[in-house]
Structure 1
Amino acid sequence: MTTGRKTEEIKLESIYFEQTRKTADAGYKHVGLSASTEKAELYASQVELRQDITDLLSARRALRRARRNRKTRYRAPRFDNRIRTKCEGWLAPSVENRINAYLSRIEAVLRLLPITKITVETASFDTQLLKSPDIAGEEYQKGEQLGFWNVREYVLFRDGHVCQHCHGRSKDPVLNVHHLESRRTGGDSPDNLLTLCETCHKALHRGEITLKTKRGQSFRAQAFMGIMRWVVLDRLKASHPKLEVQNTYGYRTKHARISNGIAKSHCADAFCIAGNLGAERLGELFFQKQTRRNNRQIHKLSILKCGIRKRNQAPFEAKGFRLFDKVARKGEEGFIFGRRSSKT
C-alpha cells in the first residue's frame, strides 16, 4: 500500500477442521478460509474437496494388473524396489491431494491480499476415547484385539463363531469374514467385518440376500487429521519464512463463536479463528468445488460390435463450448459438465 496511513494487519485463517464427534467431516470434505482486518472481513470462501482419489487409484491398479497379465510375460516379483512408501515424508496420494488443495487455496489468497499472519487450526483425535468414552490409564495399552493372532480370529470370537445372518440355520460349518464396505474403501477394520457362513456369504454376493447390519463408525477422517495436521503447518512455514504462521485449537474457535453468537459454518469458524471478531463480516462467500482435471484413459473398456474400441477422449471444444463454461438456457444458468461432438 502506498498511502501514508499505517497498514492494517490482515489475518488469514487458512484451514478449518470441524471437530464434532457426530460426523466424519473433520476437514475431510470441506475447508473454510477467511481473511480480515480489524474493521472488515475481506475474503471468505468454502472449498469442497475431492473424494474420488481412492476409487480412481484402485481402478487404475485393477486395470494395470489386467493389462500386464494379458500383454507381458511372467516375471517373479521383486520386493526390493518397492520402497517408495519407506521414504521419509511420504504420504498416501489421497492425503497428499488434500494437503496440496489446502496449500493451493492459501496461495491464491496470498496473491490477492497482503497477508501478514496465517493461523491454522489443528486438531487431534483420540480414537480409543471415541470408541470407549470411559477408557483411562492402562486400558489404553489393552486394545480390543489384545490376545488375538489376527483380525479374523478376533472377529470370529466377537461374533461367537456364529453366522450373523442365519445364526446357524444353514448348518454350514465353514465360516467366512465378510467386508460390509469394500476393502478398497473400508479397509480391514473390525468394525467393517462380519462373520458369515459360506452359504450365506455366497448367496450375498449373488444378490439373493441382503444384510441389515451396517458397518460401525469409521475413523478415516480422524486418522487423516492425525497424519496431516502438522504437515500443512510445516510446509507453510517453509514456503513463507517471512510470514507469521501459527496454529490454534478447536475449543478456542468454539468459545469465540458461541460468545459472539455466530451461527456455525465453515466460514464462520474461519472468521473466528482469524481473531478480528469486531470486523464487519461479508454477507456472502466464495464457494469452490474441486473436480478432476484430466482423464488420460485412451479407450473405453467396453468393446463395440466388430471389435471397435471407442475412444475415451472428447473434443476440447464442441459446438463452441468448453468444459465448465457457464451458459444460460431458457432463463436458467448452469455449467457444462460434459461434451459431445454429435448433436445429441
Structure 2
Amino acid sequence: MAVLVLDKRKRPLMPCSEKRARLLLDRGRAVVVRVHPFTIRLKDRVGGDTQPTRIKIDPGSRITGMALVREGADGTEHVLWLGEIAHRGHAIRDRLAQRRAFRRRRRSQLRHRAPRFDNRTRPAGWLAPSLQHRLGTTIAWVKRLRRWAPVTAVSQELVRFDTQKMENPGVSGVEYQQGTLQGFEVREYLLHRHQHQCAYCAGRSGDPVLEVEHVHPRRRGGSDRVGNLVIACRCCNQAKGNRTAGEWAEALGQRSMLDRTRKANAERIEAGKRPSLRDASAVNSTRWALFHALKATGLPVAAGTGGRTKWNRQRLGIPKGHALDAACVGTVESVVGWNCPVLAIKASGRGSYQRTRLDRYGFPRGHLMRAKQVRGFQTGDHVRAVVPTGRKVGTHTGRLAVRVSGSFNIQTPKGVVQGISHRHCVLTQRADGYGYTAKPKPMEERERAA
C-alpha cells in the first residue's frame, strides 16, 4: 500500500512507496502525520509535480469500498490505496429505538405530556438517520482523501437493485408492471393466500381471531413487506412472541398434534422465507443523494453501472471484494497493483451521552464515568502498549477503551486484551470515530480461505 505524502505546508503530494517513506523517516526528512492511513509530511519540500488521481467508490448498505488510483496515459490504473468502510446504521437504528422507549416511559410513568407528531415536517431530500450516516461517512472520507492526496476526479457505482425481481425472479409482463398487490389490500391478500386460516396451526387451535403476523419480528429488524407477513391466529401469534419462525419451530415439541402442526408449518415458512431487501433498499435510497453530494465537492464525477463493474472484474481476473469492486468501477482498461493490503475502517462513533445503564425492566442501573479522558487517554485512541512482565507480557496495538481506575482495555486484531495499565500505553493516533484494521492482501486471503 502506498504512503500518503504532504509537503511542508500540508498540501498533498503524490504518494510514495513504503521503502521510500522509511528512508525519509530514517534520514529525518519527514515526520509521521497519521498512522491510519499512514501519512507523512516532508520537512524540506514545498509543492511539486503531481499526476491525475481518482477516488473510486462502490457504495454499499453495510460496507462501502473505496480505492485511490493513479490514472496512466494509456488507460491503465495503478492502485495506490484500498479501503473498506463498515457503516454503523444498525447501531443508529437501535439507539433511536432505545431513545423512543425512554421518551415513552417518561411520558407515561414519570410525567404526562401529550405526544406530538403532527408538527414535524421533513425537508425535501430527507433521509433516515441510518441512511444519512452512510452518506455522511462516505463524503467525509472523500474529503479526507482530498486533503492527503492530489485527487482530480471521482467515480461512483450508480447501481439500482430491482427489488421486485430479487423477490420473484420469474415475474414478467403485466404482473411485473402491476405488482403483487394489484387489486388487493395487504390483509385481504394474506387472507386469500392462506385461505382464511392460520399459517401455523391451520385452524386447529380453535381461535377465530386472525391477525397479520411478522415471520421475522419487526423488533429484531423485520420489514413490513408482504414476503415477511403471514396470517396467524391470536393464540399462535402470542405463543410465537418475539421469535422468528425458525426459532419457534426449534422450541416447539412433539407432545400434541397441535404442536406438531405448528412445528411443521413454522419450518416450512422459515424455509420459504425470502431474503431481506433492507440492504438493497438502503442503496437505492441513497444512490442519487451520494451522487449529488459528490458533485457538490466541485470534482468531476463519473458514474458507472454494477454490470460494468462485474464485467471489468471478471475480465481482469480480480477477485471479489468491496474495495476491489471500487477499483473496477467505470471505464477501465487494466488495473495494476491491486494485490495490496486493504484498510478496514469501522465507524464506531464518538461515544454516547447516556450516563447510566438499564436493567431488563428499563430502570437505571449504575452510573457511567463523567470524565471523557483518563490519564490523558480517551476511548477510541489508538495506542501501542509494551508490557514488560506479567501474564500480558508483549506488545499490544489497537483501539483503547478507558476506565477510571487507569486499567484499560485494548481492542487488537486478535481480540480484546484487558487490564493494561496506562503507564505502558503510548498514543499513536487520537480518536476520530473510526477503528482501523489492516486486512491481508486479497490473493493471500483467497488462498487462506481455500
TM-score normalised to structure 1 length? 0.83
| C-alpha distance 135-164 of structure 1, shift in aligned 2 (>3 A) | closer
- Which structure 1 segments of 5+ residues have no match? 18-26
Q: Which moved more, 1:167-176 or 1:101-110?
A: 167-176
Greater than 6 Å deviation, 4+ residue runs: none
Q: Which moved more, 1:211-220 or 1:247-256?
A: 211-220
Counterpart contact for 2:106–2:112, Cα < 8 Å = no
Aligned-pair Cα RMSD in Å: 2.9
Partner of 2:317: 261
Counterpart contact for 1:177–1:194, Cα < 8 Å = yes
* 1:207-234 Cα deviation digits (max 9, x unpaired): 8747433343211111112111111111
| C-alpha distance 314-79 of structure 1, shift in aligned 2 (>3 A) | closer
Alpha-carbon distance, 1:161 to partner: 2.0
| C-alpha distance 334-202 of structure 1, shift in aligned 2 (>3 A) | farther
| C-alpha distance 332-174 of structure 1, shift in aligned 2 (>3 A) | farther
State which of 81, 94, 98 in structure 1 corresponds to 2:119.
Answer: 81
Indicate whether 1:333 and 2:396 are aligned: yes
Partner of 2:54: 11
* Residue aligned with 2:212, SS: strand
* Residue aligned with 1:104, SS: helix
Counterpart contact for 1:315–1:339, Cα < 8 Å = no
Which whole-Å CA distance do the structure 2 matches of 1:91 and 1:179 have between them? Answer: 25
* 1:293-327 Cα deviation digits (max 9, x unpaired): 221113333499xx985223364345775323435
The aligned runs of 1:50-65 (5 Å cut-off) are: 50=88, 51-65=90-104
Q: Which moved more, 1:139-148 or 1:287-296?
A: 139-148
Indicate whether 1:127 and 2:163 are aligned: yes
Which whole-Å CA distance do the structure 2 matches of 1:161 and 1:303 have between them? Answer: 38
| C-alpha distance 192-132 of structure 1, shift in aligned 2 (>3 A) | closer
The structure with the larger Rg is 2
Counterpart contact for 1:297–1:313, Cα < 8 Å = no
Which whole-Å CA distance do the structure 2 matches of 1:97 and 1:173 have between them? Answer: 45
Amino acid at match of 1:164: A
Q: Which moved more, 1:270-279 or 1:136-145?
A: 270-279
| C-alpha distance 180-133 of structure 1, shift in aligned 2 (>3 A) | closer
| C-alpha distance 74-31 of structure 1, shift in aligned 2 (>3 A) | closer
* Residue aligned with 1:160, SS: coil
State which of 276, 280, 297 in structure 2 corresponds to 1:222.
Answer: 280
Partner of 2:63: 30
Instruction: Return the structure number with greater relative CO, CA threshold 8 A, min gap 6.
Output: 1
Indicate whether 1:141 and 2:198 are aligned: no
Partner of 2:345: 288
Indicate whether 1:248 and 2:284 are aligned: no
Amino acid at match of 1:333: H
Counterpart contact for 1:47–1:287, Cα < 8 Å = yes
Alpha-carbon distance, 1:287 to partner: 1.4
Amino acid at match of 2:342: L
Which whole-Å CA distance do the structure 1 matches of 2:306 and 2:240 have between them? Answer: 43
Which whole-Å CA distance do the structure 1 matches of 2:111 and 2:364 have between them? Answer: 23
| C-alpha distance 234-169 of structure 1, shift in aligned 2 (>3 A) | same
| C-alpha distance 110-162 of structure 1, shift in aligned 2 (>3 A) | same
Amino acid at match of 1:258: Q
TM-score normalised to structure 2 length? 0.65
* Structure (1 or 2) with the greater strand fraction: 2
| C-alpha distance 166-113 of structure 1, shift in aligned 2 (>3 A) | same
Identity %: 32
| C-alpha distance 105-137 of structure 1, shift in aligned 2 (>3 A) | same
Which whole-Å CA distance do the structure 1 matches of 2:99 and 2:133 have between them? Answer: 17
Amino acid at match of 1:40: H
- Which structure 2 segments of 5+ residues have no match? 1-12, 14-46, 243-247, 253-262, 386-391, 408-418, 420-450
* Residue aligned with 1:139, SS: helix
Alpha-carbon distance, 1:95 to partner: 0.8
State which of 235, 240, 245 in structure 2 corresponds to 1:199.
Answer: 235
Which whole-Å CA distance do the structure 2 matches of 1:72 and 1:313 have between them? Answer: 27
Amino acid at match of 1:226: N
Indicate whether 1:114 and 2:150 are aligned: yes
Partner of 2:443: none
| C-alpha distance 64-281 of structure 1, shift in aligned 2 (>3 A) | same
Amino acid at match of 2:64: V
State which of 58, 72, 75 in structure 1 corresponds to 2:111.
Answer: 72
State which of 206, 212, 221 in structure 2 corresponds to 1:171.
Answer: 206
Which whole-Å CA distance do the structure 2 matches of 1:124 and 1:205 have between them? Answer: 35
Amino acid at match of 2:52: E
